[in-house]
A = this chain, B = another copy of it.
Amino acid sequence: MSPYQSLREEVYEANLTLPKRGLVLYTFGNVSGIDRRAGVVAIKPSGVPYEDLQPADIVVVDLDNQIVAGKLRPSSDTLTHLLLYAHFPAVGGVCHTHSTYAVAWSQAMRAIPNLGTTHADHLTAAVPCTEVMTDEMIRGNYELATGHQILNVFRDQQLSYREVEMVLVACHGPFTWGKNPAKAVYNSAVLEELARMAQLTLSINPAVAPIKQALVDKHYFRKHGSNAYYGQEGY
């Protein structure tokens, strides 16, 4: 039995959730998970359809992107995932999709404003959108540069990756993360719904403004932190 079997199965299951939740067409998305003690990341192989995927197909790489286990090539986005793991130490899973509404906001190069409590239940700020990359970044190590664009927008806007677990890469699409691969996928599904709600809200009332800070705080801290009272112990 491979020493990475449980990590691979966890990552495999999280990847299969993408088509079930309607977040991907064909192979347009990937999920990874990290075992920080072992120093390895397991990730979807590049270009393999979800319906063909087996747990043993999940590629295991070390933190320098060297393949440790698996016969297939890892996702072409692996370097982006690795950079996020390196800078976001509490993160256990990362997810990237081309889900329709989140891509539309990314292509529109607009942050998704916090327009209601569905948004505030999950994050305290607008979903940030990165700057467009320079030509030099694109022609250099593109996937690493994608990760740096994400780090840059979090630095520039002084955002916490623990309170904002999602981002839009301009002209591209969303990345999300969480304590494990399943939570990263959960955040991708939530982001897609927030993106859809915001697009519809603006079509009904183009002049709408973000909700007031008291409402953001109320909903976010109802679900997060030591005073949270939503949900059950152990869920």
- Give the B-binding residues of A (Cβ under 8 A): 25-28, 45-48, 72-73, 76, 98, 100-101, 103-110, 115-118, 132-133, 135, 138-139, 142, 171-173, 186, 189-190, 193, 196-205, 208, 211-212, 214-215, 218, 222, 229-232, 235
Contact = CB atoms under 8 A, between A and B. Distances in A.
Nearest 8 pairs of A and B residues by beta carbon? A47-B231, A104-B200, A108-B205, A108-B204, A107-B116, A107-B201, A135-B214, A107-B115
A104 B208 CA distance: 11
Contacts of A98: 117-118
How many chain copies does the complex carry? 4
A190 B108 contact: no
Contacts of A199: 200, 203-204
A203 B205 CA distance: 11
B25 A201 contact: no
A109 B76 contact: no
30 contacts: A25-B189, A25-B193, A26-B186, A26-B189, A27-B231, A28-B118, A46-B229, A46-B232, A47-B231, A47-B235, A48-B235, A76-B230, A98-B117, A100-B200, A103-B201, A104-B204, A106-B116, A107-B116, A107-B208, A108-B204, A108-B205, A116-B172, A116-B173, A118-B173, A138-B215, A139-B214, A139-B218, A142-B222, A171-B211, A203-B203
A221 to B, nearest CB: 11
B107 A25 contact: no
B25 A110 contact: no
Contacts of A230: 46-47, 76
Contact of A202 (B76, B117, B204, B232): B204
A235 B231 CA distance: 37
